[in-house]
Homo-oligomer: A and B are copies of this chain.
Amino acid sequence: MNLHSLRYFYDASFYPSLTEASHHLHISQPALTKHIKNLEEDYGVKLYEKNGRHITLTSIGNELIKECHILFQQADKIECFLNQKSTHYPLKVGLTQLNSEEFIKNILINDSFDSIKIELTTGNTKKIAQLLVNELIDVAILPESDSFAHFEKEKLFSDELIFLSHPDYCENHLSKSQLSDYQFIKREAGSFIQEILNNWKQPNVTFSNQVATHAEALLLCEYKNGLYLCSSIQAKSLIDSGKFQQVVIENSPKITRDFYLYFNKQQEIKYFKRYIKQISHEFQKTI
């Protein structure tokens, strides 16, 4: 039977609509529909039924999902087994020391992501670029950068910078004139975040004492020492926990960074493609 289509059917079932599922599964939505239609036509069963402009699983569809759960749990176990036995070299990944470093590390060095072995190297953009050229690392993960224009790239995620505060520190919407009432947490000189704030050039912005890491900045923010400009991805769980709120500031610069996975085009190793796909997939799952 067509286990390829069945896998898409199974994976899609976790999302409320095929459209949303298709985004997460990195496939166009017509292609996803096709997989499901394939199964339905091959076996003469109805897996989904129309429900307004949505579709919902039929009882047969639900039964099938249950069986698929057993099936693909075993398939994943097998993949894990093979990765454990793999003689492939670990993938050498380069990162820059930036705001999102810990975040990316957390995704790559993760219990649920044990499917490929990874070796991390950090450095500034120039160093990482050099390592990549000399093939001392296999890939680099960093925001879009001119230094990497001549490498192959695969987009991993978009990261927007947003302001965080303790929920009691200020309103969740501030006008320009209100800015003087609050402090902004100052990151280390030269850091991307700090550069953005410096370039903002708002006359009435005052800064807290300088901190060196994201963790320190968060601590200050939690104790109502100021507003903190932070990666939206890192902010997500913080906001969800209720300990922090997003603060929208009138006319503040909207900064979005697209993070890419860069690598040499001539990378001809067969399994390289699978590595790229799995990393990309892991990021999509997490974000």
Contact = CB atoms under 8 A, between A and B. Distances in A.
Interface in A92-114: none
A271 interface: yes
Q: Which of A4, A39, A81, A85 has most B Cβ within 10 Å?
A: A85
Interface string A51-85: 00000000010011001101100110111011101
A1 B86 contact: no
Contact of A81 (B46, B64, B271): B64
Given A74-B71, A74-B74, A45 B3 contact: no
Contacts of A83: 43
A30 interface: no
B45 A86 contact: yes
A1 B87 contact: no
Interface in A239-287: 270-271, 274
Contact of A87 (B42, B44, B79, B81): B44
Contacts of A120: none
Q: Which of A1, A6, A63 has most B Cβ within 10 Å?
A: A1
Given A3-B4, A43-B83, A71-B74, 17 more contacts: A3-B7, A3-B75, A4-B4, A39-B82, A42-B270, A42-B274, A43-B85, A43-B271, A44-B86, A45-B87, A46-B87, A60-B85, A64-B81, A64-B82, A67-B81, A68-B78, A74-B74
